[in-house]
Amino acid sequence: MAAAGDNIAISVEKLSKNFRIPHEKHSTLKATVLNVFRKKSYSELEALRDLDFQVRKGEFFGIIGRNGCGKSTLLKIIAGIYMPSSGKVRVNGRISPFLELGVGFNPELTARENIYLNGAILGLSRKEIDSKFDEIIHFAELEEFVDMKVQNFSSGMHVRLAFSVAIRAHSEILLIDEVLAVGDANFQEKCIREFSRFKEEKRTILFVTHGMDMVEKFCDRVLLIDKGRKVELGNPKQVSLEYSRLNALEKERREGEDVGAADGSERKIEITSVESLDEHRKPQKIFQSGDDIILRIGYRARTAVEKPVFGIAFYNDVGVCVAGPNTRTSGMVIDSVEGEGSIELRVRKNPFNEGSYYTTVVIFDWEILNPLDHIDKANSFKVVTEEKNYGGMIKLDAAWENRPAEDAP
């Protein structure tokens, strides 16, 4: 690949990538020999189309998009693993790729042997690996497994070892693909500390992730890809909001198909829609922390349903349940419903901190033992706030008070 300009680490021009997928696959040698002269047919998969962007030196550059949009393919082309179908990629600097679990590892070798092998591939001398060996093992938390074959490692052990080696290479540019998708909370915290160090060192990072909190915290700019094409490139908050909007539209489309395809003839009552509304009851997907949020549940009861209980569970983007109110525990008794209708939950001055949230909606019987209908991830919305240093998932309605010792009770 040709070098980019002095201030540009990576330049991508009119980049496209197509894959040819054969319609027939032969799993035996006999089938392959018998069909050797038979004309093969293929279908074309367009993974990337006409991408144009540049990454500046020292920039923490995010790449986001839904699964299958072409993010990983893009990183592999930049790393030189794939060749583009058309267009150009220019790189100015040595690359250290962290793209897939255990790429470059030999499963028959031990962790110790793979550190030396992978380190050599990334440009480290044996003396340098010797000096960094204990540090690599300690970061990966593999002190007890250093002489175990990598083929016996769990996925979390794989990713810890691979990341620990990759970040110690003499590379100006790091390509990181979903490093936080595998690994426990302790390892994720260590990765976050490393990301902070990368920013301080002004290293060039290309970071693929689905975590919008990470994008907004670390990235200088973000590229949003959808179906292989560039949708937006710019400010992390603005681009992540657009990503949330695309996700919400896709969920609504799929949910509409599911509702249309579902056979609800056996259910007495079914959920027909779930919407998030602002205080004026207008559809809304983005709220300020402290705004009222209204969740409207549409339902259809084929026969009279006595004392139904409606519940909504709120989850953050990593699947932690933040709250789970229902009509019964809130003191509301619905004697009976029949036909079509809706019920609303108003969250007054919502306490959610900045982030993405989704809701699961359920209709129970009065005893809250049997679900009459439910929709997982029925709706999603995003909360934004100007207060960047407020930790946790919710904002408490609380006040600080300074009480000198002489005033204490």
* Burial profile 160-193: b = 16 or more Cβ within 10 angstroms, e = fewer: bbbbbbbbbbebbbbbbbbbbebbeeebbebbee
Give 393's pLDDT tier (boundaries 50, 70, 90).
Answer: confident
- Reply yes or no on whether the pLDDT at 23 is more than 70: no
- Over residues 138-186, the pLDDT tens digits come to 988 899 999 999 888 887 788 888 888 888 887 889 888 876 655 566 7
Are 8-23+38-243 and 267-384 in the same CATH fold? no
Angle (deg, nearest 10), helices 126-140 and 155-166: 140
What pLDDT sits at residue 312?
A: 94
- Reply yes or no on whether the pLDDT at 265 is more than 50: no
Q: Which of 21-30, 41-50, 78-87, 209-218 has the highest mean pLDDT?
A: 78-87
What pLDDT sits at residue 35?
A: 58
Q: Which two tokens stand for residue 252?
A: 């609504």
Phi/psi at 166 (5° precision): -60, -40
More confident: 407 or 127: 127
What does CATH list as the number for 8-23+38-243? 3.40.50.300
- Over residues 311-332, the pLDDT tens digits come to 999 988 777 788 889 999 888 9
The domain locations on the chain are 8-23+38-243, 267-384
Distance CA 27, CA 34 (A): 12
More confident: 192 or 334: 334
Against a cut of 0.75, is the pTM above it?
Answer: no
- Reply yes or no on whether the pLDDT at 216 is more than 70: yes
Which is nearest to 87 in space by CA: 19, 20, 18, 16? 16
CB atoms within 10 A of CB 295: 22
Q: Which amino acid is at 204?
A: T
Task: Report the mean per-residue pLDDT for the chain.
Answer: 83
Distance CA 128, CA 168 (A): 10
Q: How many residues does the chain have?
A: 409
Give 261's pLDDT tier (boundaries 50, 70, 90).
Answer: very low
Which is nearest to 383 in space by CA: 278, 280, 303? 278
The CATH architecture assigned to 267-384 reads: Distorted Sandwich (2.70)
